Amino acid sequence: MIEINTDIKIAVAGCGSAGRNNIREFLKVDELEIAACCDSEAQIAEFTANEFGIPAFYTDLNDMLETEAVDALVIALPDGEHLNAALEALSRGINVFCENPLASNYAEAVEMTRAARESGLTAMINNQILEIPALQSAIKYIEKGTLGRVKYFEAAFMQNRLDAAILDDAYEEKRLIWRLSAATGSAGAIGELGSALFDITAKFCGEPAEVSATIKNIAGLDEIEEYQELELTAGDTFICQLDYTGGATGLIRGSWTAGGPHEQLALTVYGDEGMLTLDSAQSEKEFNVITSEGSAAIPADSPESSLQDKFISAVKGEAVPVSGFDAALKIQYFIEQSRLSAEGGLRLQLDAASDADL
């Protein structure tokens, strides 16, 4: 545990969009210093350090952790590099804040979760979309039973990452293209966007019991000749039909090819006593409910918050960690089974990720 009055020092591994977004959020946290950043491309690491006033930059993670005395590591690397980075940090007694999904596959996620448990350190995953005030309030509203028993839902997480105009920029293209590459260990859109959706729906439906999934490359980048050697097979769009142990059924879907807003979370939940809708592109501060008594816009009663702030509070011992590796392991299992369903055109029964695997 870190003494409360001690400034926390962190290092950031990966200076792409996720790394830079994390830096912006961590800079808002009190009693914190970003001591160093690291990227395999020296120019990007140096640019990031200069932009945010970070005193040191590196191109090698081990060199950074060997040189800098830090309390926590932010992992914002391609999915296939999460395992080694997390194990290296945890073995050095360094707390970990990792981008989602937790790993490239379930086996790696098990290894990371086991290491986190054995270390006794704070290890959290970044599902920042869950911090939207309207979403937090909507989940509490559903949990109170106001809609009755949940019977059906639709949840969508849409982004325009692969918009043609964005890819016309050479830097943006390079920064984004790895997300579709099997060679980087990327799970594609279902890994990043699906992680959030599985987490959200489990809060009011429990764990899924069956899945039937479809994963596609709608943007068509895998058909472009210059990208052939990159194996862009991870999938930019997905749809999963899920049946839950509690009797609910529903759809989750996500895409990096959506037009319109940069990012949209949309949720519709039907219970036997009413329905709830939420659209973050319209408002992050309220959701809508329709029951037999009429319709109403319900203002969020949850304060704005960030997982970065909650992570530092947990590292200091001021709060219990949320979005930990144990929860992320379950999500990784559902992602992997969904990918297997899509590959085989199968409907698969799901077993809960078990402590026996650890």
Domain match, 139 and 226 both: yes
In a domain, 123, yes or no: yes
Whether residue 231 sits in one domain with residue 176: yes
CATH code, 230: 3.30.360.10
Instruction: Point out the least confidently predicted range of 154-158, 179-183, 338-342.
Output: 179-183
Instruction: Between 297 and 180, name the one with better pLDDT.
Output: 297
Mean pLDDT of the chain: 91
Give yes or no for residue 163 having a pLDDT over 80.
no
% of the chain beyond a pLDDT of 90: 74
The answer to whether position 330 is within a domain reads no
Same domain? For 46 and 189 the reply is: no
Whether the pLDDT of residue 285 is over 60: the answer is yes
Same domain, 101 and 150: no
Domain co-membership, 93 together with 156: no
Instruction: Looking at the structure, tell me whether residues 152 and 123 fall in a common domain.
Output: no
Same domain, 109 and 144: no
167 and 284 assigned to the same domain: yes
Q: Do the domain assignments include residue 113?
A: yes
**pLDDT at res. 310:** 95
Higher pLDDT, 94 or 173: 94
Question: Is residue 5 predicted with pLDDT exceeding 50?
Answer: no
Could you tell me if residue 232 is inside a domain?
yes
pLDDT in tens, 193-246: 999 999 999 999 988 999 999 999 888 777 777 777 777 888 999 999 999 999
Please tell me the total count of domains within the chain.
Answer: 2
The answer to the question of residue 327 being in a domain is: no
- pTM of the model as a whole: 0.92
pLDDT (tens digit, 9 = 90+) per residue, 24-73?
Answer: 999 999 999 999 999 999 999 999 999 999 999 999 999 999 999 999 99
- Whether 157 and 279 map to the same domain: the answer is yes
In this predicted structure, the answer to whether residue 4 has a pLDDT above a threshold of 60 is no
Domain encompassing residue 123: 8-128+307-322
In a domain, 328, yes or no: no
The answer to whether residues 91 and 202 belong to one domain is no
Summarised one tens digit per residue, pLDDT across range 10-20 is 999 999 889 99
Question: CATH code at 73?
Answer: 3.40.50.720
Decide if pLDDT at 2 tops 50. Answer: no
pLDDT at 1: 44
Q: Which residue has the higher pLDDT, 2 or 328?
A: 328
Say whether both 31 and 138 belong to one domain. no
Write out the chain in H/E/C secondary structure: CCCCCCCEEEEEECCCHHHHHHHHHHCCCCCEEEEEEECCCHHHHHHHHHHHCCCEEECCHHHHHHHCCCCEEEECCCHHHHHHHHHHHHHCCCEEEEECCCCCCHHHHHHHHHHHHHHCCCEEEECHHHHCHHHHHHHHHHHCCCCCCEEEEEEEEEECCCCHHHHCCHHHHHHHHHHHCHHHCCCHHHHHHHHHHHHHHHHHHCCEEEEEEEEECCCCHHHCHHHHHHCCCCCCEEEEEEEECCCCEEEEEEECCCCCCCEEEEEEEEECCEEEEEECCCCCCEEEEEECCEEEEEECCCCCCCHHHHHHHHHHCCCCCCCEHHHHHHHHHHHHHHHHHHHHCCEEECCCCCHHHC
User: pLDDT, tens digit, for every residue of 82-97?
Assistant: 999 999 999 999 999 9
Shared domain check, 139 and 236: yes
Residue 288 lies in a domain: yes
Is 2 contained in some domain? no
Confidence class of residue 175 from pLDDT cuts 50, 70 and 90? low
Residue-wise pLDDT for 245-284, tens only, equals 999 999 999 999 988 778 999 999 999 999 999 999 999 9
Which pLDDT belongs to residue 71?
A: 98
